[in-house]
Amino acid sequence: MKTIIFLSVMLLTISGFAQVKVERIFKTSLNQISTPYDMIKASDDGFFITGGGKNLNNEKSMFLLKVTEDLDSSWVKHYHRSSNIENRGDIFIYNSDGNLCVLGISFGPGVFVSLWELDQNGDTIRTAHTTIGSSGIEFVITDAVARPNGGFIALVRNTSTAGTVYSFDEDLNIQWSSTNQTVDWSAVSPNAQFTGVELVDTVLYFSARKINGADHHSYLVKSGLSGKLLDVDTFGVHDQQIRAEDIVISSNNEVLMVGTRNIEISTGLTSARLMILKTNLDGDSLDIITDKSHHFAANADLIDASLVVNCEGFPPSGPIGHLSTASVVYFNEQGVYQNHYDHMLFNSDTNTTPTHNAIRTIKSSDGDFVTMGVRGDNWTSRVYMVKYTPVLTGLAEFPKLHSIFIYPNPAQDQVTVSYPNEIEDLLIVIRDMQGRVLPSKLSQTHGLTLIDVSKFSSGFYQVTCAWENKMEHFALFVAH
């Protein structure tokens, strides 16, 4: 088990204005759809949206909204288990048979994980329900993946305590869970909420966050499909307020945990910032990227070579508590900033409470982006969609991150700076927190520089690495 303290690389954020082609809003009064939770591609290049609404009998039910590629509504269907049961769709997934599955939470006497397996017309193939708790506590499925030989790995959390990883077979029978006695997950904090999951070969990678107690860590948890816990890596310290909300694994096996960080509480800057923690599959720290705008990250996906993060954001000039707006921020697969779409507002819907956020972004067959989200609150919510042409910017302004590594960090006596061999002349400058350049004893070989920090006072320093027309800044902490 490793505990890793990250220090931040701040990126300049440039607001982008995409060419909006189509935007739609689906009101509660239309087909009784209310709060959306997820979106997925349909086989005909359209989209499915699921969430919570009411059927014609005014019963709280899971809805399935079919939308065309041009964002026109095709049909809406509702799925209701029985009387006195409230149903909701949380997560879409295509199972190992290629069928559309909706996993959601049902409330009644008791709390259930519910499965609806559907065809592309929304007709029910089968359903299954499994009890996971008592009534009266708000549960939600935050993420899920299909098991290779059938069944699901699903993450369930509730708002009052922590979360549980469940392994279900194809009939939704529980094979194991992170809280039962058949597997030992005692190395994971009992206050951890699991937020995202990815499957690589036969290893499951989970993002998690701690919600109670003195510290606010994030975790990278690894297990086998049998539930055997393989490793737990801990990121952050209390002052950094690191909260991972989703996990994405790139094609070069870098782990990107996307979430929110409250920057430098000790200095009074307590605004929430979009955060990307970068590690490899072994949990070794690579970097942290912190966006300078205010965001609360919802989830993230890889679209081609872009990491797309859906957020509830804030206008660049607005503090926390200001008018919140749906935001989509995306980076390339290496974490280099590309663009930032803010203020996804629908001027035709002026009677709706302005609070809203982006939930899911998918690339359409014609290359456009389609973002789905919710606008309003729990009483006046709306489903909205917008289709737009993404505009890539920022690539020339930012060098490829993570080409340079500084370790160990924190350091005591010596710091190593490693960089690619193609960088021939690397200039390294160290400044203290007052901006003064410090004389440094450097020992350089090709691709490697050693810095003597044994005479430095304990504290933070800025390390600037410059080459050609590129530059990267690192925060270094010296602790004697």
Average pLDDT score, the chain: 77
Average pLDDT on 160-183 reads 89
CA quadruple 282, 284, 286, 292: dihedral, nearest 10? 100
Helix (H, G, I), strand (E, B) or coil at 31: coil
Question: Could you list the residue range(s) of the whole structural domain that residue 379 is in?
Answer: 2-389
pLDDT tens-digit map of 289-327: 765 555 678 888 888 777 888 887 554 433 333 345 677
Q: Report the candidate in 472, 415, 475 with the shortest Cα–Cα distance to residue 449.
A: 415
Q: Is residue 394 part of a domain?
A: no
Residue for token digits 């290049």? 45
Domain final position from 389, 420, 446? 389
pLDDT tens-digit series, residues 235-290: 765 445 678 889 998 877 888 888 877 644 343 434 566 778 888 888 776 677 76
Do the domain assignments include residue 131? yes
Domain boundary among 341, 358, 389: 389
**Winning range, highest mean pLDDT, from 172-181, 253-262, 353-362, 422-431:** 172-181
Same domain as 218, residue 362:
yes
pLDDT at 213 over 90: no
- CATH number of the domain at 50, please: 2.120.10.30
Is residue 396 domain-resident? no
Six token digits for residue 19: 């060419």
CB 39 within 8 A of CB 372: yes
Q: What is the Cα–Cα distance from 395 to 409, expressed in whole angstroms?
A: 28
Which of the residue ranges 192-196, 247-251, 376-380 has the most confident prediction, judged by mean pLDDT? 192-196
Within 38-135, where are the H helices?
none
Number of structural domains found in the chain: 2
Q: Beta strand 9-11 with 285-303: parallel, antiparallel or unpaired?
A: parallel
Give dist(CA 442, CA 451) in Å, integer: 5
Question: Which tens digits make up the pLDDT trace of 104-125?
Answer: 999 888 889 999 999 999 999 9
395 lies in some domain: no
CA pair distance 183, 15, nearest whole angstrom: 47
Residue type, 282: D
Say whether both 76 and 141 belong to one domain: yes
Decide if 260 is inside a domain. Answer: yes
Q: Scanning the structure block, which residue is given the tokens 């020339």?
A: 396
- Judge if 385 and 411 occupy the same domain: no
* Residues 79-89, mean pLDDT to the nearest whole number: 85
Bond from prior residue into 408 cis (ω within 30 degrees of 0) = yes
Backbone angles phi, psi at 238, to 5 degrees: -60, -45
Give the tokens for residue 458: 């304990």
Same-domain check for residues 353 and 381? yes
- pLDDT category at 6 given cuts 50, 70, 90 is very low
Rounded distance between C-alpha atoms, residue 441 and residue 340, angstroms: 40
State the pLDDT confidence band at 157, using cuts at 50, 70 and 90: confident
Q: Which of 355, 389, 423 is the last residue in one of the domains?
A: 389
Rounded CA-CA distance 220/4 in Å is 11
Laid out side by side, the sheet with 441-445 consists of: 405-407, 414-418, 448-452, 441-445
Q: Which of 15-19, 172-176, 414-418 has the lowest mean pLDDT?
A: 15-19
Same domain, 414 and 356: no
What was the pLDDT predicted at 410? 75
Bridge-based pairing of strands 100-108 and 91-94 is antiparallel
